[in-house]
Each structure stands twice: as C-alpha cells, then as structure tokens.
Amino acid sequence: MKILVINGPNINMLGIREPGIYGKNTFADLLALLEETAQAEGLEVEQYQSNHEGDLVDRIQAAYGKVDAMVINPAAYTHTSIAILDALKAVAIPTVEVHISNVDAREPFRHISYPGMACVHTIKGQGLDGYRQAILWLKEHYGK
Ligand code: DQA
C-alpha cells in the first residue's frame, strides 16, 4: 500500500514555531516518524511539504492513479482553501486530515476546514503521533 503524506505551510518550521502549541519535535523528527511507521507497517510512505497553495494542488493532482491513500495537514490553508478541497474531490483518493494541535479549542477561524470536507477521517490534537494514527487508520480501512 502506498500512502502520500502532504504538509502545508510552516510545517517545515516544527520545533521552531510556537513550541507551546506544536511541541518541540522538529520537521526532521516528523520525517523519521513517517519512515519508522512505514517500515513497521510494511507500507510505502512518501512525504511532500510546500508553503504554496498551488504546489499543494499540483501534488494532489499528480497523486491521481499513483497512490492508494493520502494524509494531509493543509496547515493554514485548512481554513481558506477551496482549491485544495476541489483537488481532493477531483482525485477522490481516500484522505485523512491531520492537525497537530486541537484546532477546535483554538481561535474560531480555525474551526472551519474546507479540505476536511473531502476527507474520510480527521485526527486533531494528537501531536506528531496523529500522522502515525492516520497511517494506521488508512491501513486498517483501505489496506491491501
Ligand atoms: C495546524 C493548525 C492550523 O490552524 C495552523 O494554521 C497550522 C497547523 C495543526 O497542525 O495544528 O499551521 O494545521
């Protein structure tokens, strides 16, 4: 099973950005966690990060017919991007939305998720472990 993990803007700043909200683990730690999870579960996991909305749309489109499932943390684009929502709908690849922080307990503008409307499941507030949980969830529901 091949899973693509997509991260939006500022996720590459993990460990530096607002550690009180996102924790002290770095982006490199996240990449290591993804690799460990892939090995432990016998999955192929690829990661893509961009700070640019159009690049995220391009990467989702390029995944069409190439991956079995996706995990996405659209970061700030969660709360604004109909383009990412439409891209997810277009490719119709089962996708789990992940947020490191519990967005529901934060500012009201973080309570809406456009891409989430096209996702099969959402994991919030579990820190970096949320990515591992999302991969396990996809393996359980769509694994082959
Ligand atoms: C985030 C939550 C978003 O509101 C924020 O803009 C992010 C990260 C999270 O993982 O908790 O950049 O998606």
Ligand 1 centroid to residue 40 C-alpha, Å = 27
Instruction: Please check whether residue 48 is in contact with residue 8, taking contact to mean a CB–CB distance below 8 angstroms.
Output: no
Structural domains of the chain ordered from first start = 2-142 (3.40.50.9100)
Q: Give the pLDDT score at 144.
A: 73
Ligand 1 centroid to residue 54 C-alpha, Å = 18
Residue 133's pLDDT band (cuts 50, 70, 90)? very high
- Global pTM reads 0.98
Give the mean pLDDT of the chain: 98
Which amino acid, 46?
E
Span 72-83, pLDDT tens digits: 999 999 999 999
- Residues in contact with ligand 1 by the CB-under-6-Å rule are 10, 73, 75-76, 78, 99-101, 103, 110
**Residues catalogued as catalytic:** 22, 99
